[in-house]
Amino acid sequence: MRYNILIIGAGPVGNYLANLLARDYSVAVVEKKSSFGGKACTGIIGAENYERLNLPKKAILNELYGATFYSRIQSFSIGRKSPQAYLVDRKTLERELAKRAMKKGADYLMSTTFRGFRNGKAVLQHMGETLEVKADFYIGADGVNSTVAKVIGTKTRAEFLSGYEVEVLGSFDRRNVEVWVNKEITPDFFAWVTPIDGETARVGTFGKMEALSRFLRLRRLEPTKILEFKAGPVGFGWRKPWVKGNVALVGDSALQIKPTTAGGIVYGMLCAENLKKALYEGKPEKYWDYCSWVRRQISFGLKFRRLFTGLDQDAIERIFEVLGSEEAREVIETQADFDDHLRTAKALLKRPKLLAKLIKVSPSLIKALL
């Protein structure tokens, strides 16, 4: 078997990339699982990018218009008239993208695990048999614990966290996400409540499983009304290089993930577009440069994450006082961008009053963000 491009991993990013490439190249995608989906992932994707990337409408489970933020003792809400994000079903998203890629000519090898390279060929385990597949170019889209990244000898400097999420029965406002920032309950990350509809939601956090149990109690969600439990890792940081010889990494395998929220689907897909561009130009080494926007967002997110980790709950309460003010909410409602957190922070810090108040709370936070 020989292809122009072999993509390892049929997650959302691998399938999206297969779509981009399948018309002009012979493409194969290998996936170790026997079916699509199943990864621990809330499935929130910014609405603007969802449309721009032309992702399948069929995968949308709910439209989200706003968010309510809770600290230990305060809360405030922001909202807009049009949906800001969609909650998607990962299985449908991946299947629909794979179907599109197949229709354009991509071959899929399911239940097939990439093991490494031998003599310039990919060694694959397929239903107990070993196959060797030759391609001109190989792409690791095989997630955060990427085998491709290990095999090509990338270096990783990152913080890895375990995510825990349940789908639970309760009573929810289906238009709004809840974001809970309370270090006494979930010390490593915020906790989220993302409604699927009025009676079910995906509820999770990163860090320790006990933190999720504590949060479920705080939120008065019953542990005996859980419909599904999932756990999975996320990595915030850098894994480099993103391209080495005729092998590139994309999506979680390259840690193209927002350290502020752990969202990785959009950044992975935006980088997939940049990889396509570099490949079409015959200059794969340009891929890193073309991803400068995503890299800037990741750098900002890492700074923000370091600062968040260092703040105690009292400082968070004071930040909430500022962000919950009428002026800050107006800025967030009119200028915040679901995927461009750098722009959102800049818009807030442009307001002299807000800047002055935030400097009082944490001078180091503002210095780092500026």
Q: What is the 3-state secondary structure (H, E, C) of 104-124?
A: CCCEEECCEEEEEEECCEEEE
Contact 114, 35 (CB under 8 A): no
Binds ligand FAD by CB under 6 A, chosen from 26, 39, 229, 337: 39
Contact 233, 145 (CB under 8 A): yes
Binds ligand FAD by CB under 6 A, chosen from 83, 263, 284, 301: 263
Q: Which token pair is 257?
A: 């993930």
Residues in the interface with ligand FAD (CB under 6 A) total: 38
Q: Find the shortest distance in angstroms from Cβ 368 to ligand FAD.
A: 25
Binds ligand FAD by CB under 6 A, chosen from 41, 221, 278, 291: 41
163 makes contact with ligand FAD (CB under 6 A): yes
Of residues 300-329, those binding ligand FAD (CB under 6 A): none
32 makes contact with ligand FAD (CB under 6 A): yes
Give the closest residue to 96 by CA, choosing from 10, 196, 27, 38. Answer: 10
Binds ligand FAD by CB under 6 A, chosen from 6, 7, 11, 347: 11
Strand-pairing partners, residue 70, are: 75, 180
Q: Judged by CB under 6 A, which stretch of 26-34, 69-77, 99-107, 302-310 contacts ligand FAD?
A: 26-34
Q: Judged by CB under 6 A, which stretch of 76-84, 152-160, 209-217, 251-259 contacts ligand FAD?
A: 251-259
Binds ligand FAD by CB under 6 A, chosen from 185, 216, 265, 322: 265
147 makes contact with ligand FAD (CB under 6 A): yes
What distance in Å separates the CA atoms of residue 290 and residue 299, rounded to the nearest whole number? 15
8 makes contact with ligand FAD (CB under 6 A): yes
Characterize 255-283 residue by residue with b for buried, 16 or more Cβ atoms within 10 angstroms of its Cβ, and e for exposed.
Answer: bbbbbbbbbbbbbbbbbbbbbbebbeeee
- List C-alpha distances in Å: 355 to 182, 300, 302, 346: 23, 18, 21, 10
Contact 252, 144 (CB under 8 A): yes
Which residues of this protein are in contact with ligand FAD, per CB under 6 A?
Answer: 8-14, 30-33, 39-45, 113-114, 141-143, 147, 163, 165, 204, 232, 234, 251-252, 257, 262-266, 268
